[in-house]
Amino acid sequence: MEKEVEQLVEMGATPAQARAALKQYRDVMQAAEQIFDGKFDHVLDDEVDQDGDVQMASSERAAAPPKARMITPNDDDDDDDDDDGGREDDSDDGSMEDFADYDSDDDVHQSAAVCAPSVDPYAGIFFSKDRREEVIEVEEEPQIVLIPEANMEVPLMTQGQWMKGCPEGSEQSFLFSLYRELSDGECKCPNGCDTSIQRKKSNFFALFPDFQGYIEHVQGLVQQTCPSCSKTYCFACGEPASIDQNRETSNTEQDLALFHCPHLQGVILGVGLAMLEKMFVDETRDVPLDKVKKPRTSSKRRKVDLPALFGGSKYYDDDEDSDGHHTPTASKKKAKLGIGYAGDIREDTTGQIEAQAIQRERDDRLAQMLKQIRVFLPSLHRPGGGRTSDYLVHPTTLAHLRRRFNFVGSQLLRNDSLADMSERSVLYFELLEWLETISCHEALASMMAMPIMVVSSIKPISPKKGSPRGSPAIRERTIIYEGSSGPRELLEAIVIQAQAAVKGLESTKAPEVPPDEMTEEQKRMTIDDKGKARAAEAAASEENTKLLSFCKRILSTAKAIDRSLAETKGEAFVERLHAALPKIPRSTGDAEVVQVDAGDTEESAMKAYLEWANRVRFEYCDLTIPRPERGADDEDVLPHYKFYYSNEARMLANSDIPKRSLAIAKELAVLTTNLPVAWNSSVFLRVDETRVDVIKALITGPEGTPYYNGCYLFDIFLGPSYNTSPPNVKYMTTGGGKFRFNPNLYADGKVCLSLLGTWSGPGWIAGKSTLLQVLVSIQSMILCEEPYLNEPGWASSAGTAESRSYSANVRRMVVKIAMLGMLKNSPEPFEEVIRTHFRLKARSIMQQLDRWLAEDDGKPTTADGANLPKSASGSNNGFAADVAELKTLLQQLQAGEGAGSS
């Protein structure tokens, strides 16, 4: 047992922890995993006897305050000191508080189970994003070495690179231990002949230009033959290598040696994912493909260029942006075209085809590397059955996936364009394969729900004085990591888009009707235009089929992941995971009504408002008018809609226009997750559950404008030529067709916007402009700070008395119609949205009303602000009465008494 204790101490455990763990877990690696997951942090050196029995409990031991941990121990110190120091920090900082023991089978948080028995072994230890970890990371200049068999000079992965991006204390210990073991020291023959072979850093940590070159290099050295006894053993773990060459496998016999032990799995995944991360960063930074080194065949010695592997003109500089750390930003988005008045710029499509070809080439390279690395992921379902490394997963595997794969995967999953994903399906299909493979293995499945730790800030540490000249350049930085959405949560945003796209493609599709038999005269007729039309429809249908297939693959992957998680982690695990995922109700009736509390402060009200608005901004609902009882002979079976464009919608019932269906599907995919919501102004959308071209929008007025906090309703119809032509939009908050709120919002509901073709200026760009652009244009350019300036010829009148008077008149109309009127007679289907909006913002709105009342000029309200009187009449304009009534309704809402009309 003492030998096992020594091994655990070398990994960073204390002797007491080692004995206690080995008493419970006979396997050294399992004991190490439990120790570094914090299960034995309460055990002190004087609490365990030589037999491993705990003498006294120490659960009340005081915890030291969190402090920055060194992610890379100093190479000049003794190994024992490094490990002990690492563990001391790990036990003090509490970094694994929310993640302890979620991968063990039978002993998961036994203490929690004793206190509160549950069928869910993960109860009480789920995954909080409210984490913040601070570590010190070290970077050093890589060494260049010659690889004789490849006739190539390559850089070696430094310890800082190997451990970069890992904020978890226990994972750091495992990473450090594996790096030290495989980069230095002797590998003894396991057959007792006392012969050993010296390991070098270049054996396992050489950074080749491509992953396949690295694999061939490792293949050539992993099976070593002892020079004394001539027996073969694994150069990674030092154990006898017995390879069954007759075993069924899709790989070569030599490949089987790469699955011999967990050590190989850990180092191959670590190096491979580091190479993948570097390739991905090169792509997102738009590094030209001709600058990225590719494998060549030549007898001349080759040297891998450092900029190609590490980015920039040199690896070390003083620019903090070139530190190799990556913050979670949304993946590259196409630059938005202009909206409203700013979009009259002809798009330059020069080079677009070339850019798309370059993107496809990059995606192919990334997908190929992902596929090559995926072979080495632990999987019990590989052809021929699982291998040694599939059952004995190295502790560093999860660390590699959480920091490197999660970085690449999260960037791709944050793509808000389903259409772009579909065009890059080669890459995204491979990403889905990774997620499914990870979810199928019990040792990795928890990662799907674990928050991704991302860099929030980087602070350089001043270099120590007196560093010897000629020594490698080294710099230290304090990195602060914070929790963000985990892989399954990020995937859910894509699932929501895919569900919307499927609904858009299927709900506008006409039912299949058998074609009528053609007459002889019809058969003889051949019209070229019909042939061309059919060809265009076939092309559109093919694109629809491609998008539909991609969406269904996304949905099936999400179901497969949840099924695997249920099998490996339990149903309760999946239920709790789903409770935290973003949701889009299938219909308003299905939405769970939750009473949102505004709290006692404006800060709490803001937080509650944002959480609520994000949940209800997009919903499906029934916008049809209930049909009266009719006779059996009534042939009018088409529904009518609570909608200005009801007749137009009825005319397109059961139409099959593939190009339009595709445009609507893409539009819905974006709208489900990208509608702007904020305390200052939000956009809410309701889409008919059977006719996704029938849409209602509610926009709340932006702060700093005379429209602030008012509610403005719009009816939207996506016509037969959408999106070759813009949607039909009608403004409905007009007080029964009496009030004109803006020079661009007529009392009859007309919306003047060049994007809609109802005003001169930059127009709709077929296939490019979107409904989201229209909504944002109305929100920001029509509901603006000085609406007087929107009138033709008045654009130079900013700040004038006329402009101020116009805004005052708008404020009176807003209080009367867009606030008081909307509360007393809330339009369907936004009744609950309007009431909740005013209830959560009641305190803020009452303060706003006081300001508006003090700023009012006393003039009478006119339905059309263009004909305002020159001066105040001196009579009561009714504004004070409207404000008083609105305040009363707001107070009733706060008290939970409702505010609807009797």
Mean pLDDT of 662-681: 92
pLDDT category of residue 722 using cuts at 50, 70 and 90: very high
Gap between the Cα atoms of 14 and 20, Å rounded: 10
**What single letter denotes the amino acid at residue 299?**
S
Residue 195 belongs to some domain of the structure: yes
Predicted confidence band of residue 306 (pLDDT cuts 50, 70, 90): very low
Kindly tell me if the per-residue pLDDT of 7 is higher than 90: no
Residue 518 pLDDT class (50, 70, 90 cuts):
low
Q: What is the pLDDT of residue 491?
A: 94
Does residue 756 or residue 301 have the better pLDDT? 756
User: Alpha-carbon distance 863 to 740, whole Å?
Assistant: 6
Q: What is the pLDDT of residue 410?
A: 93
Same domain, 622 and 480: no
Checking if the pLDDT of 74 tops 50, the result is no
Asked which of 56-65, 262-271, 349-358 is least confident by mean pLDDT, the reply is 56-65
Average pLDDT, the chain: 78
List the beta bridge partners of residue 731: 714
**Cross-strand partners of 197:** 187
Query: Which of 146, 155, 38, 145 shows the shortest CA–CA distance to 98?
Result: 38
First to last CA, the chain: 81
86 neighbors 71 (Cβ within 8 angstroms): no
Please, which residues bridge with residue 740 across strands? Answer: 864
The three-class DSSP label of residue 118 is coil
For residue 58, tell me if it sits in a domain: no
SS3 316: coil
pLDDT band at 73 (very low <50, low <70, confident <90, very high): very low
- pLDDT of residue 504 exceeding 60, the answer is yes
Average pLDDT over residues 688-695: 92
* 413 close to 491: Cβ distance less than 8 angstroms: yes
Please tell me the distance from the alpha carbon of residue 19 to that of residue 12, in angstroms, as a whole number.
Answer: 13
Q: Is the preceding omega at residue 829 within 30 degrees of 0, hence cis?
A: yes
Average pLDDT rounded to a whole number, residues 676-688: 95
Whether 647 is covered by a domain: the verdict is yes
How sure is the predictor about 279, in pLDDT bands with cuts at 50, 70 and 90?
Answer: very high
Residue 568 reports pLDDT greater than 50: yes
In this predicted structure, what is the pLDDT of residue 334?
Answer: 41
Phi-psi region of 103 (alpha: psi -120 to 50; beta: other; left: phi over 0): alpha
DSSP 789: G
Q: Is the pLDDT of residue 562 over 50?
A: yes
69 bridge partner residues: 135
Close Cβ partners of 293 (under 8 Å, ≥ 6 residues apart): 209, 304, 305, 308, 309
Least confident of 44-53, 147-156, 280-289, 431-440: 44-53
- pLDDT reading at 181 higher than 70: yes
pLDDT of 593: 57
In the predicted structure, residue 809 carries a pLDDT above the cut 50: yes
Residue 71, pLDDT score: 52
Q: What is the mean pLDDT of residues 149-172?
A: 89
Name which of 107-121, 342-356, 634-648 the model is least confident about: 107-121
Most confident of 35-44, 122-131, 787-796, 886-895: 886-895
- DSSP-derived pairing of the beta strands 618-621 and 474-484: unpaired
Q: Which residue has the higher pLDDT, 99 or 514?
A: 514
Over residues 516-520, mean pLDDT: 60
pLDDT at 103 over 50: no
Domain membership flag for residue 229: yes
Q: Are residues 253 and 402 in the same domain?
A: yes
Question: 841 and 714: one domain?
Answer: yes
Q: Rounded to the nearest 5 degrees, what angle is found at the Cα of 644, between the Cα atoms of 643 and 648?
A: 95
Read out DSSP for 522-552?
HHH---HHHHHHHHHHHHHHHHHHHHHHHHH
Higher pLDDT, 790 or 497: 497
Which of 331-335, 383-387, 489-493, 799-803 comes out lowest in average pLDDT? 331-335
How many Cβ atoms from other residues are within 10 Å of residue 291's Cβ?
A: 10
Comparing C-alpha atoms, which of 576, 580, 610 is closest to residue 483? 580
Q: Tell me, what's the pLDDT at 43?
A: 73
Q: What pLDDT sits at residue 14?
A: 79
- pLDDT at site 717: 96
Going through 701-834 in order, the beta strands assigned E by DSSP cover 711-717, 728-731
Tell me whether residue 507 is in a domain: no
Query: Which of the given ranges, 56-70, 177-191, 264-278, 309-323, has the highest pLDDT on average?
Result: 264-278
- Does residue 650 have a pLDDT over 60? yes
pLDDT level of residue 629 (50, 70, 90 thresholds) = low
Q: Which tops the pLDDT comparison, 705 or 70?
A: 705
pLDDT band at 98 (very low <50, low <70, confident <90, very high): very low
Distance, C-alpha 369 to centroid of its chain: 22
H-only helix segments in 525-679 = 528-569, 571-579, 602-616, 646-651, 658-674
Q: Residue 404 has what pLDDT? A: 93
DSSP-based helix, strand, coil % in the chain, nearest 5:
45, 10, 45
Q: What is the mean pLDDT of residues 224-234?
A: 87
The answer on 881 and 746 residing in a single domain is yes
Residues 57-85 as b or e (16 or more Cβ within 10 Å = b)? eeeeeeeeeeebbbbbbeeeeebeebbbb
Predicted local confidence at residue 150, as pLDDT: 83
- What are the catalytic residues? 752
Residue 697 has pLDDT above 80, yes or no: yes
What strand order describes the sheet that includes 452-461?
69-70, 132-140, 474-484, 452-461
Residues 384, 8: Cα–Cα separation, whole Å: 34
Q: What is the DSSP string of 2-35?
A: HHHHHHHHHHT--HHHHHHHHHH--SHHHHHHHH
Cα–Cα separations (whole angstroms), residue 170 to 107, 176, 477, 574 = 18, 10, 20, 26
pLDDT at 305 > cutoff 50: no
CATH number at residue 687: 3.10.110.10
Residue of higher predicted confidence among 572 and 94: 572
Task: Return left, alpha or beta for 41; rule: phi > 0 is left, psi -120 to 50 is alpha, else beta.
Answer: alpha
More confident residue, 301 or 455: 455
Contact 863, 738 (CB under 8 A): yes
Q: Is 252 helix (H, G, I), strand (E, B) or coil?
A: coil
Establish if 376 belongs to a structural domain: yes
- Reply yes or no on whether the pLDDT at 46 is more than 90: no
pLDDT band at 841 (very low <50, low <70, confident <90, very high): very high
**Over 90: is that where the pLDDT of 338 sits?**
no
Statement: residue 473 has pLDDT above 90: no
pLDDT surpasses 50 at 322: no
Q: What is the pLDDT of residues 845-883, one digit of tens each?
A: 999 999 999 999 888 888 876 666 555 554 578 899 999
CB 437 within 8 A of CB 415: no
Number of domains in the chain: 2
Strand partners, 484: 452
Residue 327 has pLDDT above 70, yes or no: no
3-state secondary structure of 625: coil
Candidates 728, 722, 721, 790; CA nearest to 757 is 728
Give domain status of residue 669, yes or no.
yes
Q: Which residue has the higher pLDDT, 526 or 138?
A: 138
| Range(s) of the domain holding residue 693 | 583-627+639-894
Together in a domain, 485 and 590: no
Residue with tokens 């004789």: 148
pLDDT at position 287 over 80: no
* CA 715/CA 696 separation, integer angstroms: 5
Q: What is the pLDDT of residue 304?
A: 44
Tokens of 773: 């652009």
Let me know: does 836 contact 699? Beta carbons within 8 Å.
no
DSSP three-state, residue 814: helix
What whole-number distance in Å separates Cα of residue 31 and Cα of residue 3? 14
Mean pLDDT of 891-899: 79
Confidence of residue 730 (pLDDT cuts 50, 70, 90): very high
Pairing type for strands 69-70 and 132-140 reads: parallel
Task: Determine which of 18-32, 802-816, 865-879 has the lowest per-residue pLDDT on average.
Answer: 865-879
Is 338 within the bounds of a domain? yes
Contact 669, 554 (CB under 8 A): no
